[in-house]
Amino acid sequence: MLVSASGRTDIPHYYGEWLMRRLKEGWVLSRNPLFPEKVSRLRLDPDLVDALIFCSKDPSPMLGNIERILGMGFRIFFFVTITSYGSDIEPGVPPWREAAGTFARLSALLGKERICWRYDPVLLTPKYTVEHHALAFEEMCSVLEPYASSCVFSFVQMYRKLAYAFPSLRPVPEADKLIMLRSFSYSAARHGIQLRTCAETGDYASLGIARSGCVTVPLLEKAFGIRMRRVQPRPMREGCQCLPMHDIGAYDACPSGCRYCYATSSKTATLRNYAEHNPDSPMLNDSLRKGDIVTEAVQRSFFLPRDGQLSLL
């Protein structure tokens, strides 16, 4: 069983204290965003949790806890998003060179096979042009080459709420996609970085770009040197190839304010939730309510038993 922390909010940046308390106590509650009365109780036991999958734009506040988490017996895989946007698009995110420095320190702690650079979403504006992305991606590849073995990217998806949050945003034209795909492929190959798409339906194998997705069996087998069962992906959106994960985060909880964010529907609610966050609560930005139905999550390992393991390192 994989635990995502989190695709819904940046737990490493904003909720590290809460996470460490949950890991120490050994359990967590997670509310189902589609059926809010349903709450899952997960045991945070390294014998039950195959890996903690972290997603962050700025994991610097968590660097001091990485060795503690590893010392508890948990496996860690980190996705760190580093883009070329400024505060006009990502107001609460550090400049990319600062983020690259954090990436390098995290890579030193985990190893470059257990950390992945995300360059997404790719969007176009009069400022962030095709040429801008091509040059920025090449420069980032040159800086991150010693610390990253892979990069995942995606083109922006036009979620309905973006019509209000980012009304000038438009889908990336196919012709522009192809130009950037060729440029990204060339830069990644030149710097020894494996390139994969996230939630893209196109087949770009001829450009050396895999469509395997983010959290996959080959990725985790290589990262941890352990063979896994053949697990079917559980798509979270069209084109997604990720494995099933239990997400312990919550929507409307990340105050970074990225204009393209799919996980924030209300800036007011997000800031209120963050201000009222209780690090002692078993649920990220909530508590149990009257009428809630709490069930124990099914936690089955995706890894083969020890006598069926094969070292891949």
Over residues 193-212, mean pLDDT: 83
The answer as to whether 213 is a domain residue is: yes
The answer as to whether 13 is a domain residue is: yes
Q: What is the mean pLDDT of the chain?
A: 92
Tracing tokens 């609460």 back to the chain, one arrives at: 92
Would you place residue 33 in the very low, low, confident or very high pLDDT band (cuts 50, 70, 90)? very high
* Residue 216 scores a pLDDT above 50: yes
**Quick one: tokens of 143?**
């800086």
The answer as to whether 313 is a domain residue is: no
The pLDDT > 90 percentage for the chain reads 78
* Residue 14 scores a pLDDT above 70: yes
Would you place residue 235 in the very low, low, confident or very high pLDDT band (cuts 50, 70, 90)? low
Read off the pLDDT of residues 88-117 as tens digits, 9 standing for 90 and up.
Answer: 999 999 999 999 999 999 999 999 999 999
Tracing tokens 């892979």 back to the chain, one arrives at: 150
Would you place residue 310 in the very low, low, confident or very high pLDDT band (cuts 50, 70, 90)? very low
Read off the pLDDT of residues 145-155 as tens digits, 9 standing for 90 and up.
Answer: 999 999 999 99
What lies within 8 Å, CB to CB, of 226 at 6+ separation is 220, 303, 304, 309, 310, 312
Predicted confidence at residue 26, as pLDDT, reads 98
Over residues 18-37, mean pLDDT: 97
What are the start-end ranges of the E strands in 36-75? Answer: 38-43, 51-56
Would you place residue 198 in the very low, low, confident or very high pLDDT band (cuts 50, 70, 90)? confident
What are the start-end ranges of the E strands in 58-114? Answer: 76-81
Predicted confidence at residue 311, as pLDDT, reads 42
The answer as to whether 11 is a domain residue is: yes
Predicted confidence at residue 284, as pLDDT, reads 96
Question: What CA–CA distance (Å, rounded) separates 222 from 196?
Answer: 15
Number of domains in the chain: 1
Would you place residue 205 in the very low, low, confident or very high pLDDT band (cuts 50, 70, 90)? confident
Question: 212-228: b or e for each residue (b if 16 or more CB lie within 10 Å)?
Answer: bbbbbbebbbbbbebbb
Would you place residue 200 in the very low, low, confident or very high pLDDT band (cuts 50, 70, 90)? confident
Read off the pLDDT of residues 257-270 as tens digits, 9 standing for 90 and up.
Answer: 999 998 998 999 99
Question: What CA–CA distance (Å, rounded) separates 122 from 153?
Answer: 7
User: How many other β-carbons are positioned within 10 Å of the β-carbon of residue 202?
Assistant: 15
The answer as to whether 102 is a domain residue is: yes
Q: Which residues constitute the domain of residue 232?
A: 2-308
Please spell the DSSP secondary structure of 234-247, one letter per residue. --SSTT--PPP-EE
Predicted confidence at residue 312, as pLDDT, reads 42
Predicted confidence at residue 158, as pLDDT, reads 83
Q: Which of 72-86, 189-203, 272-286 has the lowest mean pLDDT?
A: 189-203
